[in-house]
């Protein structure tokens, strides 16, 4: 009888415990090791390097989007990992107007915003993160249950800020002044 009990426990409960531990490891500090560039930064979205909308003047792609783009857009599928470009502190996680769901990473005199991210944040304000640590995921185009969200797609569905599709918008502020992110990559 005791042996049957042990078999029952090992079949049904030990795999559950192991799966939970794996999920906690991913959400609490998965690190992707990449070599920093000459400025000490790593690319925020490994495997995706195309820029669909660079920093600077542009024709606004959707209602509510600015004609001056204060960052760079990197298209990637929903759920793609986003990593900390540098060691720092998470200083913002919330919905932020045209940027949609946003994470801000602060360090030294830099504030780096990751916009249009997944609303299921895996980091919180006050978290200290390491360079290469997964801090979020590319969010969906459409988001719901944000009552004050004025952004909509052509079908009238609410969007993750001023966006036409899944991508990472990365913005850099140095001493609170916007800079072209590509200057640092």
Of residues 57 and 150, more confidently modeled: 150
To which H or E segment does residue 178 belong?
strand 177-179
- Give the number of residues written for the chain: 185
Looking at 26-35, 89-98, 109-118, 163-172, which range is the least confident one? 26-35
Mean of per-residue pLDDT scores for the chain: 85
Please compute the mean of the pLDDT values over residues 167-183 and round it to a whole number. Answer: 96
> Which structure tokens are listed for 105?
């990473």
CB 104 within 8 A of CB 125: no
pLDDT(130) > 50: yes
- The closest alpha carbon to 139, from 89, 75, 185, belongs to 75
pLDDT tens string 8-65: 334 344 333 333 333 333 345 789 988 999 999 999 999 999 999 899 886 655 545 5
Q: What is the pLDDT of residue 2?
A: 42
Of residues 24 and 115, more confidently modeled: 115
Of residues 126 and 60, more confidently modeled: 126
pLDDT(161) > 60: yes
> Which structure tokens are listed for 97?
């107007």
As a whole number of Å, the CA-based R_g of the chain is 19
Q: What is the pLDDT of residue 56?
A: 87
Please compute the mean of the pLDDT values over residues 130-143 and round it to a whole number. Answer: 97
Looking at 57-71, 117-131, 152-166, which range is the least confident one? 57-71
Q: What is the pLDDT of residue 60?
A: 58
């Amino acid at each position: 009888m005791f042996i049957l009990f042990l078999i029952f426990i090992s079949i049904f409960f030990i795999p559950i415990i192991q799966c939970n531990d794996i999920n906690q490891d991913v959400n609490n500090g998965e690190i992707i090791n990449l070599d920093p560039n000459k400025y000490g930064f790593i690319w925020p979205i490994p495997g995706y390097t195309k820029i669909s909308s660079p920093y600077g003047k542009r024709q606004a792609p959707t209602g509510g989007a600015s004609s001056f783009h204060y960052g760079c857009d990197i298209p990637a599928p929903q759920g793609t990992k986003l990593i900390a470009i540098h060691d720092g502190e998470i200083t913002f996680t919330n919905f932020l107007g045209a940027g949609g769901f946003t994470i801000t990473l602060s360090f030294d005199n830099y504030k780096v915003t990751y916009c249009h991210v997944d609303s299921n944040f895996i980091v919180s304000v006050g978290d200290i993160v390491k360079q290469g640590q997964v801090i979020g995921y590319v969010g969906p185009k459409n988001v719901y249950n944000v009552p004050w969200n004025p952004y909509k797609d052509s079908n009238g569905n609410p969007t993750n800020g001023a966006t036409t599709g899944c991508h990472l918008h990365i913005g850099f502020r140095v001493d609170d002044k916007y800079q072209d992110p590509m200057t640092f990559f």
